[in-house]
Amino acid sequence: MVKVVFYKSGNNYYGFREYGHAGFDEAGKDIVCAALSAMTMLIINTIEVVWGANVDFEMDEKTADISVKVKSALPAYEEDEAKQYAVQGLIYSYYLQLSEMLEDYYDYLDVDCIEQDIEKD
């Protein structure tokens, strides 16, 4: 099962961590894994390229665990309100999309959201 934990501070979504393996199908045929990979890279690339925000992105090559944090989503780190709103919106949209996927793939995916300071590892 893939576990995705979203991070927020107040009402501001600023990152997420994905870990585990979906196990929907064998490697190369796992549509749950493929969907998560595609959406994760879409979020990261859009934040970096379109909005010019720095993404703190770490991936463990052995386990495929992924951690994403974006300080630009938080008012304490970003003065541009449009950029804050856009980055928060992208991350929150990912949360909503995965929550929808739970209806069909609840045996392969778990989604949670926690309140956490961005500086905490």
Global pTM reads 0.92
pLDDT value, residue 75:
94
Query: What is the mean pLDDT of each successive set of 10 residues along the chain, which is 121 residues long?
Result: 95 95 82 92 96 94 90 95 96 97 93 91 58
Helices and strands: H and E segment counts in the chain: 2, 5
pLDDT value, residue 121:
58
Domains and CATH numbers, the chain: 1-113 (3.30.70.1490)
Rounded to whole angstroms, how far apart are CA atoms 34 and 87? Answer: 23
Cβ 59 vs Cβ 66: under 8 Å = yes
Q: How many CA atoms lie within 13 A of 78 on its CB side?
A: 21
